[in-house]
Structures are given as C-alpha cells and as structure tokens.
C-alpha cells in the first residue's frame, strides 16, 4: 500500500511538471546570428501561421523592416523617411529570426493602477511569473501617453558582423496618446535569441488604426487605461 502511494505521488509530480513545462511559444533562428554572423536570410514565412490565435514578431529578412503577426494577420513596417513609415498588411513575409505562439490562450491578469514603462512592464511580468521559467506571450491594449518605435532599414547588399552594422538605417518614430496594442514575448532564457542581451522582453506595437507599427523602444502609460493579458 505504501509502495502504491509512493508511485501514485511520483506520477502526480511528473504530471504537474509536464503541465508546467508546456508552452505554445516557438522560436526560429537567433538574433545573435543576425547581429554577429550576418545571417539575414529568412528562416520562416508567416503564411504558415495564419490562425487567429497566432501572434509573433521579428525583423524582415535582410533587415528591411519589422514584422508583427497579430491575430493571425501579418503586418510589416518599412521606413519611408525620418518622419513617416509605411505599415502594410500582407499575406506572407520571411524573417531571419522569429518568436511566435500558434495556440495563444490569452488570460487577463489584474494590475494595480500605476504608471508603467517598458522596463517596469518587464519587471511586473517577471515578478508575477517568478516560478515559471519558460517564455510568455504578453498583450497590452490601451492608450499610451508616450511611445517610441523603430523600424530597421538596412541598405540593400549590406554585410553585417556587429549590432552597429545591423542597425544602419534604423529609424525611430515618437507618438503621444496613441491607442493600440503591445505584443511582447518575455523569457529569462532567450537573451540574444529573441530578446536583447540586457532584457527579458521583446515587444512590438501596432496602433488601432494600423497606421503605426514597429519594434517598441520605449513607452509610458497608466495601467488604468490599459488591459494586460498573458499566455504561456
């Protein structure tokens, strides 16, 4: 009887561990290979990820723009000039590295009224999911007081062997009181794979009218004007 209890308890622990390890998030390619090895060619095409529960992000192949997969739809942003950029919905685009979730089960998380930045948002997710060691999809919908995004814009034919070279042509755009959605992926274990070496969080923003989209560099907002959702 004691042996039966031991086996049953062990199986329960194993089952719980398997549930804990389950994740809907996949990664293709590595940021470090793009930045340091100049591996700019596409590794995945977004036409294979068209389900309405799918979210994903990364740069366009050859660093010619930014990609956001939002509710199964592919959006790209490309630099027009120092003042404007162009956001286009397309059927498919390739990316040299990409993080995505095909079966997102986004759940609301309660957040106390407070002012947030990009870094404090990262700290919030880190604290709430302190005992979860796998990637998370984060979606924040609301009005953002100050927001800066960029699009990469590497000149055609450029060779890359450092982040500085990879960011040649990168252009930032600033906005105030803009409504839309932040889509981000959080992980403590994917630095230089899909997050930068000094962050656990990589996020893109898209406006409600779909005229603004890009890699999120900075943001300021109050959680009273936003909703937070997370999916494992």
State the CATH number of the domain containing residue 106: 3.30.1330.80
Kindly list the averaged pLDDT for each block of 10 residues, start to end, along the chain of length 232: 37 40 87 97 94 95 98 97 96 98 94 96 98 97 98 97 97 98 98 95 98 98 98 94
> What is the overall mean pLDDT for the chain?
91
pLDDT of residue 22: 65
Query: Is 2 among the domain residues?
Result: no
Whole domain around residue 153: which residue ranges? 25-231
Query: Is 179 among the domain residues?
Result: yes
The whole-model pTM stands at 0.90
- CA angle 225/227/231 to nearest 5° reads 160
Nearest to 89 by CA among 72, 64, 101, 106: 72
> What is the chain's alpha carbon radius of gyration, rounded to the nearest angstrom?
19
Query: Is 203 among the domain residues?
Result: yes
């Amino acid at each position: 009887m004691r042996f039966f209890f031991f086996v049953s308890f062990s199986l329960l622990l194993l089952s719980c561990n398997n549930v804990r390890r389950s994740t809907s998030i996949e990664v293709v390619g590595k940021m470090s290979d793009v930045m340091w090895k100049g591996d700019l060619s596409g590794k995945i095409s977004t036409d294979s990820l068209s389900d309405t529960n799918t979210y994903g992000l990364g740069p366009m192949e050859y660093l010619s723009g930014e990609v956001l997969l939002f509710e199964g739809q592919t959006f790209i942003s490309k630099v027009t000039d120092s003042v404007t950029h162009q956001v286009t919905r397309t059927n498919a685009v390739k990316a040299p590295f990409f993080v995505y979730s095909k079966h997102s089960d986004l759940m609301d998380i309660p957040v106390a009224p407070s002012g947030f930045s990009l870094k404090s948002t990262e700290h919030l997710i880190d604290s709430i999911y302190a005992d979860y060691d796998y990637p998370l999809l984060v979606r924040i919908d609301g009005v953002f007081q100050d927001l800066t995004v960029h699009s990469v814009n590497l000149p055609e034919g450029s060779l890359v062997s450092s982040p500085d070279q990879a960011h040649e042509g990168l252009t930032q755009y600033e906005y105030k009181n803009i409504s839309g959605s932040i889509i981000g992926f959080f992980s403590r274990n994917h630095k230089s794979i899909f997050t930068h070496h000094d962050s656990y969080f990589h996020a893109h923003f898209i406006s409600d009218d779909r005229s603004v989209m890009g890699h999120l560099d900075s943001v300021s907002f109050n959680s009273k004007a936003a909703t937070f959702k997370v999916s494992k």
